[in-house]
Chain A
Amino acid sequence: MTRRTTWANRMGTVVAALFLEACRGVQSALAPQGIDAERVAGLFWVMTIGAALILILVMFVTALALFGPESWRRWLSRDGIIVAGGIVFPVTTLTALLGYGFVLTSIGDSRPGGESIKIAVVGERWWWRVIYRDSAGRRIESANELRIPVGRPVEIELTSADVIHSFWAPKLAGKLDMIPGRKNVLTLMAKEAGVSRGQCAEYCGGAHALMAFYVVALPQPEFERWLAHEAEPASAPPTPQALAGMTLFAASGCGACHAIRGTPAAGAIGPDLTHVGGRLSLAAATLPNDEAAFARWIKDNQHIKPGNLMPPYGIFSDSELAAVSNYLASLR
C-alpha cells in the first residue's frame, strides 16, 4: 500500500468516528456547528420563549375574562384593551424583533476567517454534483458530499441542472434554492470539525426524499491534504478482484455516464466516481458506503431510488457484481 492510501484509510476512520458521534441530530438546526446556524438557533430560543410568554399571557387574560372577578372583567371589556393588546403591544414587540432580525441578516456579510474558499454545487435529480477548485485553479469534481475547512468562510455557488432544488445543511446554515438559470451563493462557516447531514429542501419530484448529502468539516491542514488527494486520479485496483471489476466497469459501458479520472471512463451524466469509495455514503446519503451497498445499488437502484437515471444492471453474475463493487469500494 502506498503512503497515500494509508493516510486515506486513517482519515476514513477519523471521519467514521465523527459520523457515529453526530448521528443523532445529524441534521438538526438546534445543534449548530456553524456560525450562521448558531445565530439562528439563538434567535429561535429568544423567539420561542417570547412566544410562549405571549401565549400564556393571552390565555391568562382569556381565563380572566371568563372566570375573573367582576371588577377585572369590567376593566377588560373596555375598547382600550383592544388598542393596548391588539395594537400597542404587537407594534412594540414586533419592532424590536424586526430590528433583531435585521441585525442578524446583516452580520452575515462581515464574518471573520479570512479569504473564503469557493465550492460549486449543482442540484441534479436526485443527487449533488460538487466541484472544488484547488489553488492552481484545477477543477476537482466529486458528488454528494462536501468537505470544508473549519473556521474559514465557504462560498457555495448553487445552480441547478434541471428543476428547482434547495441546498440545506441545517447544522451549518439556512437553506438557499438552486434555480435553473440563476446562480445563488450561500456563505457559511463551520465552527468545529464534525460530520453533519443535509438534504434537498425544495420538492424536486420523484425521489426528492432521497436527495441528501454529508458535510464534513475538517481542520484546515487536513482539508488541504484531503483536497490534494481528491485532485489526484483514481488509485490502481489493489487486488485482482478489483482489477476484474475495473475491466467489467469499462466493458459494461459505465463510463458513458460516470467519470473515473485516470481511466478511460469520462462520462458526465452521473456522479464522478474517482474517489467514491472514500465517501461516507452512496446514492446521495441513501445507502451506507460498502461493497454490499454498491452491489445493491448496481442491481436494484430503481427500487432504492425510483425514477433515477441509472438503469438497473441485472446483467452481472454474482461474482461479477462482487468484482465491480469491490473495485468501486477501492476507489478511496
Chain B
Amino acid sequence: MDADRSPAKLPSETPRPAGEREELQRIWARPSGWRMFTAVNNTDIGLFYMGAAFLFFLLAGVLALLMRTQLARGDNSFIGQNLYNQIFTVHGTTMMFLFAVPAIEALGVILLPQMLAARDLPFPRLSAFAIWAYVIGGLVFFLTIFVDLAPNGGWFMYPPLTLTEFSPGDNADFWLLGIGFIEISAIAGAIEIVVGTLRTRPPGMSLDKMPLFAWAMLIFAAMIVFAFPAVIFGTLLLEIERSFGWPFFTAAKGGDALLWQHLFWFFGHPEVYIIFLPAAALVSMIVPTMARTPLVGYRLNVVALIATGFFSFGLWVHHMFSTGIPALSLGFFSAVSMTIAIPSGIQVFSWIATIAAGRDRFKITTPSLFVFGFLFIFVIGGLTGVMVAVAPFDFQVHDTYFVVAHFHYVLVGGMVFPLFATYYYWAPMVSRNMLSEKRGRWVFWLMFIGFNTAFFPMHITGLMGMPRRVWTYPSGMGWDALNMISTVGAFILAAGVLLFVIDLFLRLRPGEQGPENPWGAGTLEWLATDVYSTRSIPHVASREPLWDQPNLAADVEAGAYYLPNAPTGGRETIVTSPIEGDPQYVIRMIGPGWAHFFAAAFTAAFFLLLTIKLVTPALLCGVLAILSCFVWVWELDRGPGKGPVDIGGGFRLPTYVTGPTSHAWWAMVVLMLVAGSLYITYVFSYLYLWTVNPQVWPPTGSPPPPSVEWAAFSAALLIASVVAFVTADRLLPAPQSMNPWAPALMLIGAACLVGAVVVEIDAHWQTGLRATESSYAAMVYMESVLTGELAFTVAIMTAYGLARYFTGKMDCVRRVTFESTALLTYYTAAQGLFGLLLVNGFPRIIG
C-alpha cells in the first residue's frame, strides 16, 4: 500500500554525468592533519564523540575497580576516606554525565543522518561545538581526581553538605560549573537532534515510517529539553549560594535543603529514561534484523516510548521517599513509579514476539547475545524497580547496596549491554572491518557473568544492612563474603571490557565503510556511503526500505534518487516537512572551520577559570568565546543568492527560507522551550520555598515589594521592546538598500529589555531588600537573573544583527538573523512580564 506512493519513475536520470561523485567527494572531504579539529562531518565527529564517551566509561570503570578493591574485605585501608569519597562521586558523575548521555548523543550524531539518509545533521558546527566543549570540560573535570580537587559530595550533591560551610574548597565548584556547562552542551546536542529528526528525513519518510531509533532520539532530545533545565537551574542556585550567599538551601534563612532534591530528581529520574529509551530502541532495530522480520508492534512501541518519556517526569519523588513526605504523596508517586513498568513490558514482549515471528530461527550473533544479556539483566532491574517503588520496602533499602544493585541492573543492563550490541552491530558502518564475532562471544560471556557476579550479591548485601557510599565497613557484619564475590565479579566484568578494547585495536579501522549490509538489515543506514553520506537521497515508502525495494541500494548508489549532485556547489541536504516528509527546501550547510572549535575551547576555559576563581581571565575567555561565535555564525544566513535548485523527481526547491519553515526558526523555538522549562523550574522553586517557609515572605519577614509604579514602568519597557522589534521587522529594507530606522529600533528594543531588568532590580534594591538575607529576597533577585541573562543575550544578538545590517547581510529577504533575535526578544518580554506579575503580585495576594 505504502509502496504505491513511491514514484513510478526514479527521480534522477542515470547514468549520472562524470565528475559528479568527485565533486561530492571534494565538497564533503574530511580535513586532515591539524585541521582534523575543524571537522564537522557527522561520521567523523560522531566517532570522535563516541571515542571520548567510551574513554570516560573506561576511566570511570577503573575508579569502580579501585572502589571494589577497597571494599573487598572489611576494615580495609587500601584507599582512605577522602580519596574514596572523591572516587565514588567522580565515578557516578562521570558515568552519568560524561559517558551515558554523551554516548547516546554520539550514537545520534553517527547514526541519525545515516538512518535518515541525510548528508549531515542540520547544524554541523553546533554538534562539533557541543563535542569539543564536552571533551575539554570533561577531561579537566576528570583530572581533578589526581590533584585532590575532585568533588566529594556524591553525584547528587545534596546541600547543605555541598554548601561552603561543609564543603569549602573548589571541589564542589568543579562539579557545579564543570558539569553544569556540560549539560549545556547536551542541550545543544538535543536541539540538533530534534530539528534533525523532524526536518531532515528523506522524502516519503512520514513519522510512522521513521526507524524506532529516530523516534527514541526525538523523545530523548525532548526529554533533555524539559529535564536538563531543572538541574541547570539547581546548579545555578547552588553555585550562587556558594559564591554569594543567597540562601536558597539554608533552612535558617528560609531556604530548604529539599528544594535541591526536587530539582535534582526532576532531572535525575527522567535522566534514567533519557539513557534507556534510545538503547531500547537500538534493541528494537537489532532484533528485527536478526529475526529477519519487521518489528511486531511498531506502533505500540512508539506509544511505549512516548509514555515512558511522559511518565518519567511524574516519579522523581520516589528518590525522596525517606525524606518524610506525606503518605498521600507516597501513594501517588508509588503508583506512577509502577506505571512505568507497563511501557517497558510492552517493549519486552514486542521483542519476544518479533523473535518468534521470524520465519527462520533467530540468528545468534554477538549483537544478539548482548541483546539477550540486556533482556535478562534489565528484566531483573525492572522487577527490583517495582519492589523499590513500594514505599515501605524502599524505607529499608533506600541508600543501601540493594539500590546500588538495582540501578546498575537498570543502567548497565538497560544501556551498556545494548551499547555493546550496537558496537558490534554498527561497527561495519564506520570501520573497514567488522569486530571479531569469536572474541565477541568471549567479551559477552565475561561481561555477562562478571556483571551478575558483581551486582547480584549486592541485593543481599544491602538487605543485610550495608549502606551505599561507605568507604569501609567493620568485618563480622556478614558482609565480607558477599563483598569479596562482588569484587571478583567486577574484575571479570573488567576483563570482558579489556578484551573488547583489544578487539577494537585489532579490528577497528575507521575511515571507510566495511562490508555493505553484513546483517541483511532493512533500514537506510546500510546503504553504501562515502564522506558525502549516500550517493543520492532515496524516496522512502516503508519502514524497511531495503527489504521492500530490492533495487534501492543499487539505484541510490547509481545516483538515481534525489540530490545526486551538489547544485549550489556546497554542502547541502534536503529539508522535509515534519510529519509527512515532503521535500520543502535545500539547506546549505557550512563545512569545517576553526571558529566553533575556539568557541568551545573558550567557553570551557570560561567555566573552568571561573571555578578556580580566576575571574579576569575567565571573563576574557568569555568575550573571546562570544567573538568566536560571531565568526562562526557570520557565514550562516546566506540569503537566497543561489536561487531554487533541481533535486530530481520534478522538485525545484528554494535554497533559502525564512519564518516557520526554516530550520533556524525550529531551533530557536526549541531553545525557547529550554528557556521556558528553566523558568518553570524557577516558578516552582519560588512557590515551593514559600510553602515551606512563608514566614520570610512579606508582609511579615521582608520589606514589602516596591510600589506598583515601578513594576508598571518595567512592564512598559518590556512591551516597548516588543513594539520596537515588531516595527523594525516592518522597516527592514529591501536588498541592497538601507533604512536606518530598522537598526535603530533593534537597538531601542534591546535597550528597553535590559532597562526593564535594571528597573526591576533597582526597585527592589531601594526597598532595602538584600538577596543574602532570606530565601524570599534571593528568589526575587533570581527572577531578574534569569530574565537579565536573556536580555543580555538579546543585546549581544542585536549587536551582531547591526553588524550584519551595516555589511548588507540583513534585509527584508535575508532575515533569519533578525527573526532569531526578534523571537528571543518576544520570549524574554513575555517571561519578564510574567516575572513582574509573580514577584510583585504574589506577595500582595498572600499579604
Q: Report which A residues bind B (CB closer than 8 A).
A: 23-30, 36-37, 39-40, 43-44, 47-48, 51, 54-55, 58-59, 61-62, 64-68, 72-79, 81-87, 89-91, 94, 97-98, 100-102, 104-106, 108, 125, 162-164, 166, 168, 170, 173-177, 179-182, 184, 197, 199-210, 306-307
| Residue B473 interfacial (CB < 8 Å) | yes
Indicate whether A105 sits within 8 Å of B400 (C-beta atoms), given known contacts A55-B380, A94-B386, A203-B161. no
Contact between B356 and A73 (Cβ–Cβ < 8 Å)?
A: yes
| Residue B330 interfacial (CB < 8 Å) | yes
**Can you report 8 A-B residue pairs in the complex whose CB atoms are below 8 A from each other?**
A67-B361, A77-B354, A82-B350, A101-B393, A174-B398, A182-B324, A203-B399, A307-B82
B391-407 toward A: CB 8 Å interface, digit per residue (1/0)?
11111111110000000
Residues from chain B with a CB closer than 8 A to the CB of A202 are: 158, 399
Minimum distance in angstroms from B365 CB to a CB of chain A? 13
Indicate whether A179 sits within 8 Å of B82 (C-beta atoms), given known contacts A86-B342, A199-B465. no
Contact between B161 and A204 (Cβ–Cβ < 8 Å)?
A: yes
Report the Cα distance A85→B343, complex, angstroms. 11
Residues from chain A with a CB closer than 8 A to the CB of B465 are: 25-29, 170, 197, 199
Minimum distance in angstroms from A239 CB to a CB of chain B? 31
Contact between A90 and B341 (Cβ–Cβ < 8 Å)?
A: yes
| Residue B659 interfacial (CB < 8 Å) | no
B48-72 toward A: CB 8 Å interface, digit per residue (1/0)?
0000000000000000000000000
Contact between A85 and B345 (Cβ–Cβ < 8 Å)?
A: yes
Residues from chain B with a CB closer than 8 A to the CB of A100 are: 390
Minimum distance in angstroms from B375 CB to a CB of chain A? 7
The chain A residue sitting closest to B693, CB to CB, is: A181
Contact between B324 and A43 (Cβ–Cβ < 8 Å)?
A: no
Report the Cα distance A100→B161, complex, angstroms. 36
Number of chain B residues whose Cβ lies closer than 8 Å to a Cβ of chain A: 82
Minimum distance in angstroms from B842 CB to a CB of chain A? 22
| Residue B26 interfacial (CB < 8 Å) | no
Contact between B463 and A66 (Cβ–Cβ < 8 Å)?
A: no
Q: Specify which of B85, B349, B380 is in contact with A81 (CB 8 Å cutoff).
A: B349
Report the Cα distance A237→B153, complex, angstroms. 44
Report the Cα distance A101→B696, complex, angstroms. 38
Q: Which of B304, B394, B397 has the most CB of A within 10 A?
A: B397
Residues from chain A with a CB closer than 8 A to the CB of B341 are: 90, 94
Indicate whether A86 sits within 8 Å of B346 (C-beta atoms), given known contacts A179-B258, A179-B323, A202-B399. yes
Report the Cα distance A106→B391, complex, angstroms. 11
Indicate whether A174 sits within 8 Å of B354 (C-beta atoms), given known contacts A105-B327, A205-B152. no
Minimum distance in angstroms from A28 CB to a CB of chain B? 4
Q: Which of B339, B342, B347 has the most CB of A within 10 A?
A: B342
The chain A residue sitting closest to B368, CB to CB, is: A66
Residues from chain A with a CB closer than 8 A to the CB of B343 are: 86
Segment with Cβ contacts to A, from B206-214, B249-257, B510-518, B715-723: B249-257
The chain B residue sitting closest to A24, CB to CB, is: B478
Residues from chain B with a CB closer than 8 A to the CB of A176 are: 322, 324, 395
Minimum distance in angstroms from A142 CB to a CB of chain B? 22
Minimum distance in angstroms from B267 CB to a CB of chain A? 19
Query: With A30-B463, A54-B379, A54-B383 given, can you name 14 additional A-B contacts, CB distance below 8 Å?
Result: A24-B476, A28-B463, A51-B386, A77-B357, A85-B352, A87-B342, A87-B345, A89-B345, A98-B390, A164-B158, A164-B257, A181-B251, A197-B477, A203-B154
Contact between B81 and A62 (Cβ–Cβ < 8 Å)?
A: no
Contact between A174 and B396 (Cβ–Cβ < 8 Å)?
A: yes
Residues from chain B with a CB closer than 8 A to the CB of A173 are: 395
Docked complex: B333-380 residues within 8 A CB-CB of A: 334-335, 338-339, 341-343, 345-350, 352-357, 361-362, 372, 375-376, 379-380
Q: Specify which of A43, A61, A79, A84 is in contact with B390 (CB 8 Å cutoff).
A: A43
Contact between B166 and A163 (Cβ–Cβ < 8 Å)?
A: yes
Residues from chain A with a CB closer than 8 A to the CB of B85 are: 205-206, 208
Report the Cα distance A313→B272, complex, angstroms. 48
The chain B residue sitting closest to A307, CB to CB, is: B81
Contact between A179 and B324 (Cβ–Cβ < 8 Å)?
A: yes
Q: Which of A83, A89, A91, A164 has the most CB of B within 10 A?
A: A164
| Residue B143 interfacial (CB < 8 Å) | no
Contact between A98 and B393 (Cβ–Cβ < 8 Å)?
A: no
Contact between A65 and B335 (Cβ–Cβ < 8 Å)?
A: no
Contact between A58 and B348 (Cβ–Cβ < 8 Å)?
A: yes
Q: Specify which of A29, A48, A86, A209 is in contact with B472 (CB 8 Å cutoff).
A: A209
Contact between B390 and A76 (Cβ–Cβ < 8 Å)?
A: no
Minimum distance in angstroms from B313 CB to a CB of chain A? 19
